[in-house]
Amino acid sequence: MNTLEANIRDTKTKGELNSLRDNGEVPAIIYGGEAQNEKVSISKKLLKSMLEDSNFLSTILTLNVNGKPQNVLPREVKYHILSDEPMHVDFLRVVPGLKIRIEVPVKFINHEKSPGLKKGGVLNIVRRKVELKCPSEKIPDNLLIDLDGIDIGVSFKISSINLDPEVVPTIQGRDFVIATLAAPTVMKEPEKPAEAEAAEGEAGAEAATTPAEGDKPAAEGEEKPAEEKK
């Protein structure tokens, strides 16, 4: 689990917040559960390195608030409209029993063991993330799909993923598709047998030695066209 240092802040004005940001810190708030909301600040440099992970908003972190650890889930990051720098972060406390909605990434493994992919098949990913409703302490790291032994024509649906009974997709009433292994869009033409290539070669050579109709020499006694007379 990733750990991020945080410090209690006592900022009340916009000027104080801007000063905090100028010092390389990003204001944040921790909410949820029975405890009161906590206003904290975190390192912009460390936050930006974590934001490079596309799964940041679905990953539980440990925030060390003035040395006291607590598990949180990033819920929202606000960015500057021009510079795209992070300006504020909302963290939700991970409290046992608290149910939340969250998008969890889909992960595919064993690509090299798929006979369908070896044949040139294409893995069409319909959903890279699936929204789930679950207790905060049971959030899966990812939804795992194993491609070992999978051939062309197979579809992966939400029912094919083993989920905890308390972890359910927010889309109900249909077994929706996550990905399919489809045939290649352009099929490679099979190579011709050697004897067929040889036969084509002979036919081409014969055609080359036979004069075309317009190239036949004039028959004996036949007058040549005027432009050919000398």
- Decide if 75 is inside a domain: yes
Measured CA to CA, the distance from residue 58 to residue 1 in angstroms comes to 12
pTM: 0.67
Q: Residue 140 sits in which domain range? A: 100-182
87, 132: one domain: no
pLDDT value for 230: 42
Looking at the domain assignment, is residue 166 inside a domain?
yes
Q: Domain of 162: which CATH number?
A: 2.170.120.20
Instruction: Return the pLDDT at 227.
Output: 46
Count: domains in the chain:
2
pLDDT exceeds 90 at position 120: yes
Q: Which long-range contacts link 38-43 to residues 24+ away (Cβ below 8 Å)?
A: 38/8, 38/65, 39/8, 39/9, 39/10, 39/11, 40/6, 40/7, 40/8, 40/9, 40/65, 41/6, 41/7, 41/9, 42/4, 42/5, 42/6, 42/7, 42/89, 43/4, 43/5
Model confidence pLDDT, tens digit, residues 138-174: 888 899 999 999 999 999 999 999 999 999 999 999 9
Does the pLDDT at position 112 exceed 70?
A: yes
